[in-house]
Amino acid sequence: MTKIKNNVEKLNILIKGGKIMEAFEKYYGEEVIIQVNGNHPITGKEQNRKREMIFLQEIEKLNSAEIKSVTFGGIDDNVSVTEWAINIENKDGEKKIIYRVNVQHWKDDKIINEKLYFCGDQKF
């Protein structure tokens, strides 16, 4: 469990610092499966990289990324859950706070499955 906690802490530091793609490259497995708000899951790092880039293109500035809570558990002690409040701006200067929860399953120091739950409208 200690190793997952350390990985999650390092991952979250990168995200809070705006280094989202660096975090993705370092901590996500090649065959990762990511599902957003119950939509069809996307399999593979390459496909999820494209999805992430589309999301990041909407953002001009990361004002802050605040962790509200983090918890660990799972049957094999391989699950982390992080609740975020992310304050961003788009290219037109519009500001928005994104509230989301990441549920991450880990194996061999990589995220192999992630579910993202967003609260409310998350598009500009």
Summarize pLDDT for 1-11 with one digit per residue, the tens. Answer: 789 999 999 99
Summarize pLDDT for 1-56 with one digit per residue, the tens. Answer: 789 999 999 999 999 999 999 999 999 999 999 999 999 999 999 999 999 998 88
Please tell me the total number of residues recorded for the chain in this structure: 124
How many of the other CB atoms lie within 10 Å of CB of 103?
Answer: 16
Q: What are the structural domains of the chain?
A: 2-119 (3.10.450.50)
The pTM (predicted TM-score) of the whole model is: 0.91
Q: Hey, what amino acid is at 84? A: W
The radius of gyration of the chain from alpha carbons, rounded to an integer in Å, stands at 14
Report the distance separating Cα 21 and Cα 19, nearest Å: 6
